[in-house]
Amino acid sequence: MIQYKSQAEIEIMRESCLLVGKAHAAVAALLKPGMTTLQVNNLVEEFILDNGAIPSFKNYHGFPYATCISMNEAVVHGFPGSHVLKDGDIISLDIGVKKNGFHGDSAYTYAIGDIEASIQQLLRVTKESLYLGIEKARQGNRVGDIANAIQEHTEKKHGYGVVRELVGHGLGRELHEDPQVPNYGKKGTGAKLKAGMVIAIEPMINLGVKEISQLNDGWTILTKDRKPSAHFEHDVCITSGEPDILSSFVEIEAAEKANSNLTWSYGVV
Ligand code: MG
Ligand code: MG
């Protein structure tokens, strides 16, 4: 059942969603070759706790860490650990926080050092597709309109693989609420969008095939062909007018641009 939010609840959620962006930006300023992904996780966890929130993912259905860190061919749900960041890696960092009873949830893929042009394009197109999906997040449209916009740009236009098994979702008091928000589908299908809905839109886009496999840690999702995958996620509130993006990449992109150890993926805002 879809949980519609009041204006007061939306403002509480905005604080959670913006805090996720600040956590991203804090770590984006520090990312560099030589760091381990566990160090990245610990920086984020400390930031979240210091800001009076709790990490949404820790212990969620048994997930053991505060963040999901998915390197290169990992799509999502990767474990932080001993992997040492190196030039040419991409790192998808997914962060969730719960504050004042509501979750924020946002993912961003960072490029360490210089990355191949084909991978840089994957990041750019995936982020573009997120904003094309958001453009359709309007009262009266349906979830399929968002899904179709993402699929058209990534799969139809650029030949990338759109993961089928993992989808975006409603967001609120629960980390995952109805409706599901796929990154593929037909226009005019699926749940109708109404003011007060908050959804996490999160294209997970593979450079190669759409098929995935899972590591025997029970969590980490990899591309079947082991080619890289990108992930960008915003939290969006449906209104009677323009889509209201509750999360923000502004500080993340500023930190990314200022950090000479990163390649700036692409900026829309
Ligand atoms: Mg997420
Ligand atoms: Mg999500």
Q: Is the pLDDT of residue 269 over 50?
A: no
pTM of the model: 0.97
Please give the average per-residue pLDDT across 207-234, as a whole number: 97
Task: For residue 178, report the distance from its CA to the centre of ligand 1, in Å.
Answer: 15
- 107 C-alpha to ligand 1 centroid (Å): 5
Alpha-carbon dihedral sign for residues 197, 267, 156, 233: negative
Mean pLDDT of 43-49: 98
Q: Which fold has domain 7-263?
A: Creatine Amidinohydrolase (3.90.230)
CA of 32 to the centre of ligand 2 (A): 25
Which positions ≥6 away from 249 have C-beta within 8 Å?
Answer: 21, 108, 234, 267, 268, 269
135 burial via Cβ count (<10 Å: 0-12, 13-18, 19+): middle
Q: What is the pLDDT of residue 264?
A: 78
Question: From the CA of 169, how far away is ligand 2's center (Å)?
Answer: 6
- State the ligand closest to the CA atom of 199: 2
**pLDDT over 90 (residue 134):** yes
**Spans of all domains in the chain:** 7-263
CA distance 70 to 67: 10
Distance 258 CA to ligand 1 centre (A): 24
Separation CA 17–CA 99 (nearest Å): 9
pLDDT at 267 (0 to 100): 53
58 CA from centroid of ligand 2 (Å):
14
Ligand lying closest to the C-alpha of residue 106? 1
pLDDT, tens only, 4-33: 999 999 999 999 999 999 999 999 999 999
Q: Which residues pair with 200 in a beta bridge?
A: 169, 235
Which ligand does the CA of 183 lie closest to?
Answer: 2
Distance 105 CA to ligand 1 centre (A): 5
